[in-house]
Amino acid sequence: MKNTILLLAGFLLISSSCTVDDAALKMQEQQQLDVLYQALINIAGSVPCTNSQNWAFTAVGAKACGGPISYLAYPLSIDTTSFLNKVAHFTAEQEKFNIKWQISSDCMILQPPTGVECVDNKPTFIY
């Protein structure tokens, strides 16, 4: 009986520490995703929007139900190949995160914008 209680106590200690470790790891991975996403926003916002003809947009991220988490306008004057590769990397990492941590999300499909216009030197989506 005493061995059973010790075994049970040991199991509870191990399982509770795994939960804490998992929560910390999940939070760390979420923070890494947040850093990647903020970097995309910073790159996209590095140029003032003065002519909408010089802007495009792309889907960003991955909802657990599918589809992007948002759309991001970016200037065509940046290294678009590098930028779109970073977007693809972020999206793939978010997909992995969603699967690993069994993330759920709303299944609302975001409609893509039809274009970009410049308002007060900032890109604004047209729908």
Domain count, the chain: 1
pLDDT digits (tens, 9 = 90+) for 1-52: 444 443 444 444 444 445 779 999 999 999 999 999 999 999 999 999 999 9
Q: What are the DSSP calls for 19-32, one per residue?
A: HHHHHHHHHHHHHH
Which tokens is 94 given? 């978010």
List the one residue out of 33, 78, 79 whose CA is nearest residue 60.
33
pLDDT at 61: 98
Strand-strand pairing, 70-75 and 55-60: antiparallel
Weakest-pLDDT range from 43-47, 67-71, 105-109: 105-109
Using the predicted structure, report yes or no on whether residue 123 has a pLDDT greater than 70.
yes
Note down the domain range covering 50.
2-126
pLDDT at 20: 74
